[in-house]
Structure 1
């Protein structure tokens, strides 16, 4: 059972699903960059809730059921503020005593920055996280044709110029094959529908992003926050990830105090596909240790496979 709730962030109403739990722990969640709450969190939220955890799964402003204009525009500082507001909201939900945060892809990088702040959370999970935008962008460019890359840059420049005059965003697809104008043309990005919407249930999910949002994402480097992380953090690293890359994430994990690493085989969406059960069980073990009322004995930071 879940219910619609909302909270205010920057004067904007952000929509969320609240799954009431029984064990005192609450997991705050979003999907990937421009991925709305249903395709991005449903499968994991349902499993967390079945294990007794409350869940607050929300849409960033300008996306999904949340308010905010212009639509499909992702501003990283605004989205981080939405996270802070969601964490504050979760702490006020009935029966909630401890809060964890969970996200994947670029918002998985947000997890590092948020976990370095004094937000009163108890744990964090960064799943197939993009922690180093410049490195990831250079790798992604290998899968773009020169013509498509120029068109993407041109559209981003025009959209940024149009924003100065209040014009509607120029949109790009979140994923597409090489030769198309898209945020990602990597091989594993082609599995987006298979991983997040295999049954075509989420027909309202607009799989686009304002081109003006591309440059900030390309230069965002949350890895710099890794040494300052305050809370236990589980990194889920996909060994063959071509969209977020395993190497930068493993580097971040090595710099993060009290970190745990779960390596799974497969590409960017492996935790939604063949490695789903392994990932969910590891995440539940981590959440039970740090969130549930029956606190587990402390274990040293470790790497699990």
Structure 2
């Protein structure tokens, strides 16, 4: 069963869905979920929630501030720290719902929000289980992978000019989220990013191919991987692609080695966008089983 929800995040209204299992008796263990960076909840998060609900897990899904159904200004701006903090607001909201067992809260994140839940799991002990899928580990290291050395100076110059304009009272500059032309500067580069954006328009037709320049600058300041050693004793599952060029595979594997037990790694054969559609069964089953094990218990 799915209901529309909205809740206050210290002055910004966030909106999303609350899924409750149709079988069993509540209150239910509940997964707090949001998509990566500028993606919307309609981009397959409902499919994950349905898998979780069939296993006896409720979920609270929301659009990030400044995107989709949620409020917030500046529109199309990604602030990683505020996005992570909104997970904490979502937990506080979830714990007010009568169908939610507030002592059994899990956190699921993917791509940029895969980094959010690493940080969240380390600092918020209300979280009892974490699933981090194709996570952002280091905004700085990731930017060095995605931006050619000969383009770094031009990138910094765009940020500096945008700061000058904003200081003068002008609106923030923007850039494409994805681009078909590999020579075009964008937030998420690569042919697979362009293909995923085009395909996901079928389920999220209102999605805009635009983010603020400041989003890219703030991403370079974001270092969720430094928190990974502090997640324990909260159980951590990482789902990582062996050919991920957006949130690089080696960075994720190095971070996993720094994590303490209990932890588990699922390494799938594919790239950054494969978990959502092509390898959905692998990614959703792995997450479901981890949450069931640690929030419900062994039912075998």
Q: TM-score, normalised by structure 1?
A: 0.88
SS at match of 1:56: strand
Deviations 1:143-194 (A, max 9, x none): x9x56x6665444333333333443232212222311121122343233236
State the match for 1:3 in structure 2: 3
Aligned with residue 29 of structure 2, among 25, 28, 41? 25
Residues 65 and 71, structure 2, Cα contact 8 Å, conserved in 1: yes
State the match for 2:137 in structure 1: 131
Q: Which stretches in structure 1 are left out of the alignment for 5+ residues?
A: 298-305
Deviations 1:186-240 (A, max 9, x none): 3432332366x1x613111123211111112123221110111131111000000
Residue 52 in structure 1 maps to residue 44 in structure 2: no
Instruction: Tell me the number of residue pairs that the alignment of Structure 1 and Structure 2 aligns.
Output: 291
Residues 170 and 211, structure 1, Cα contact 8 Å, conserved in 2: yes
Residue 161 in structure 1 maps to residue 164 in structure 2: yes
State the match for 1:173 in structure 2: 176
Residues 44 and 276, structure 2, Cα contact 8 Å, conserved in 1: no
State the match for 1:99 in structure 2: 105
Q: Which stretches in structure 2 are left out of the alignment for 5+ residues?
A: none
Residues 134 and 221, structure 1, Cα contact 8 Å, conserved in 2: yes
Residues 20 and 57, structure 2, Cα contact 8 Å, conserved in 1: yes
Aligned with residue 238 of structure 1, among 226, 238, 241? 241
RMSD between superposed Cα atoms in Å: 2.2
Deviates more, 1:165-174 or 1:107-116: 165-174
State the match for 1:220 in structure 2: 222
CA distance in 1, matches of 2:107, 2:39: 16
Residue 200 in structure 1 maps to residue 192 in structure 2: no
Residues 118 and 132, structure 2, Cα contact 8 Å, conserved in 1: yes
Q: TM-score, normalised by structure 2?
A: 0.89
Shift of 1:92: 2.0
CA distance in 2, matches of 1:65, 1:87: 19
